Amino acid sequence: MEKTQHKPHCLILPYPIQGHINPMLQFSKRLAAKGITITFAVLENLHTSADDEFSSSISVETISDGYTSATRAAALLPEYLPTFQKAGSESLTQLIEKLRERGRAVDCVVYDTFLPWGLAVARNMGLFGAAFFTQSCSVNIIYYSLFKGLLNVEVVEREVLLPGLPELGASDLPSFVLDRETHPGSFELLVDQFEGVEDSNFAFVNSVYELEEEATDWLKKFMSVKTIGPTIPSMYLDKRLQHDKNYGLSLFKPDDTCMKWLQQQSPKSVIYISFGSMAKLEEQQMVELATTLKLTGKPFLWVVRSSEASKLPQGFMDEASDQGLIVSWCPQLEVLAHDTIGCFITHCGWNSTLEALSLGVPMVGVPWWSDQATNAKFVMDVWKMGVRACPDKGDVVGHEELVRCVKCVMEGERSEEMRLNAMKWKELTKGAVDEGGSSDKNIQEFVSTLMGGET
Ligand code: UDX
């Protein structure tokens, strides 16, 4: 790449869901802190809070996916993705041209691998293109093996052996691998992520090298993989950096009244329950969770998004109002960092998993879809920071199993091992983003390349 005279400028293109916006925005902040100008492209105005200071270094611009917020909600992926590709490529090209005319020429497009056309736009405009994977290296190996025809799912019966990974059972695979009917288009979306990646200048992964050494090393043979995680705001990794407390752009409005409530609880006593931004639980699953909370008698903080609230058992909160709190969205990082949290019942979305590992909170994994089963397998068997709850009624995990799992991580024999591992992963993830750590070095290498070659 030519030596740039101006301050290098990256355009960041996330897939427009919370679990992708968060890590890509946080990565943007790390780049901005190293002197890169950032334009962050989203679909519409998102919530920001007063203490989100990123706005001085990062401009947020909008592009189009060809939908309005009303029509988008009803669109299915097989129709949505090609429409987004067409409208997105056009509006992204126009945005890059507009920025160039304003004297803010873009040098590199960092595109979410869910939007592989971002690389084509970059190349057409003569720009650098860098891929960004929001899921783990281990999960990427599974999809890459499918992309390359190295794994034939038609013959997956019991265990799957893939390079860089422990032996996986069929139930440890990402859900879309064996079930392509329930969420049409998702399997193709995940496998198509690798289109062109081998030619992209960098392939960033929101993970930590030390968490997945073998998997990362294997992927590096095929693409320019750089782990850059954990992409969580710096304050949680270094208490002196108070200014970087939230991710900063939210599709949901957080209710922070729960922080006051948490203050009144005892250390390590609270069960925190959240299934992220997308899961749609079966009504019976909500009943089993509510029963579990009642049976444990422990204080709880439960995030139930407003679209899920009608599934709560009738009268549950009237009965349990002395025991716990339900909110529709919370500042999850602040919650996980609070010393009253003793256990996280989670769907094992990759962000939630990395956040809990980085903040030392043991997990009970109740995966819902996508990569979550694989993440839960690693939480239990590789990082030993929690247990995976097993469904006993179809896809629903019953309250007896959930109570067993909660006891196991909060007071059982294994809780001591998890406590020690929590300290280990907390140190290790912090070390990765500290100056000279594995992730920091990878980010610095990218920045130096953009600035003109010297690393
Ligand atoms: C999606 C997929 O479902 C997941 O499998 C994939 O790994 C990433 O993309 P999502 O289901 O939303 O993500 O889960 P997760 O990855 O955990 O991301 C949720 C984010 O929202 C986290 O960063 C979490 O901190 C935040 N969050 C969640 C809040 O800020 N408040 C809440 O109340 C709940």
d(CA 383, CA 431): 17
Cβ of 246 closer than 6 Å to ligand 1, yes or no, is no
Please choose from 351, 354, 369, 378 the residue to mutate so as to test ligand 1's pocket, defined by most ligand atoms within 8 A of CB: 351
Which residue stretches of 240-389 are H helix?
257-263, 283-296, 316-320, 332-337, 350-359, 372-377
Please choose from 135, 142, 249, 352 the residue to mutate so as to test ligand 1's pocket, defined by most ligand atoms within 8 A of CB: 352
DSSP conformation class of 14:
-
Cα of 215 vs centre of ligand 1, distance in Å, is 23
Catalytically annotated residues: 20, 112
Q: What sign results for the dihedral spanned by CA atoms 352, 357, 362, 363?
A: positive
Amino acid making up residue 73: A
Cα of 6 vs centre of ligand 1, distance in Å, is 36
Is residue 361 within 8 A of residue 301, CB to CB? The reply is: no
Amino acid making up residue 406: V
Long-range contacts of 125-130 (CB under 8 A, 24+ apart): 125/93, 125/96, 127/96, 128/1, 128/201, 128/450, 129/200, 129/201, 130/10, 130/200, 130/201, 130/202, 130/203, 130/204, 130/446
- Per-residue model confidence (pLDDT) at position 256: 87
β pairing state of 108-112 and 128-133: parallel
Kind plus residue range of the DSSP H or E element containing 12? strand 9-13
d(CA 306, CA 315): 16
Cβ of 234 closer than 6 Å to ligand 1, yes or no, is no
| CB atoms near residue 3 (< 10 Å) | 8
| CB atoms near residue 276 (< 10 Å) | 20
Is residue 86 within 8 A of residue 66, CB to CB? The reply is: yes
Ligand 1, atom 13, lies closest to the CA of: 19
pLDDT values of the chain reduced to their tens digit, one per residue, 455 residues: 555 557 899 999 999 999 999 999 999 999 999 999 999 999 976 767 655 666 677 999 999 999 998 899 899 999 999 999 999 999 999 999 999 999 999 999 999 999 999 999 999 999 999 999 999 999 999 999 999 999 887 777 678 999 999 999 999 999 999 998 999 999 999 999 999 999 899 999 999 999 999 999 999 999 999 999 999 988 888 877 778 888 888 889 889 899 999 999 999 999 999 999 999 999 999 999 999 999 999 999 999 999 999 999 999 999 999 999 999 999 999 999 999 999 999 999 999 999 999 999 999 999 999 999 999 999 999 999 999 999 986 889 999 999 999 999 999 899 999 999 999 999 999 999 999 999 999 999 999 999 985 43
Tokens of 11: 């355009």
Classified as helix, coil or strand, 109 is strand
Flag whether the ipTM exceeds 0.85. yes
Residue-wise pLDDT for 230-289, tens only, equals: 999 888 888 777 788 888 888 898 898 999 999 999 999 999 999 999 999 999 999 999
Please choose from 136, 274, 277 the residue to mutate so as to test ligand 1's pocket, defined by most ligand atoms within 8 A of CB: 277
Beta strands (DSSP E) in 336-403 are 341-346, 363-365, 386-388
Q: Give which of 362, 284, 294 is closest to 324, Cα–Cα.
A: 294
- CA of 278, closest atom in ligand 1: 11
d(CA 46, CA 201): 30
Amino acid making up residue 453: G
- Per-residue model confidence (pLDDT) at position 154: 73
101, exposed or middle or buried, with CB in 10 Å at 0-12, 13-18, 19+? exposed
Cα of 16 vs centre of ligand 1, distance in Å, is 12
- CA of 352, closest atom in ligand 1: 17
- Per-residue model confidence (pLDDT) at position 147: 96
DSSP string, 181-227: SSSTTHHHHHHGGGTTGGGSSEEEESS-GGGSHHHHHHHHTTS-EEE
d(CA 398, CA 401): 6
Ligand 1, atom 26, lies closest to the CA of: 332
Cβ of 358 closer than 6 Å to ligand 1, yes or no, is no
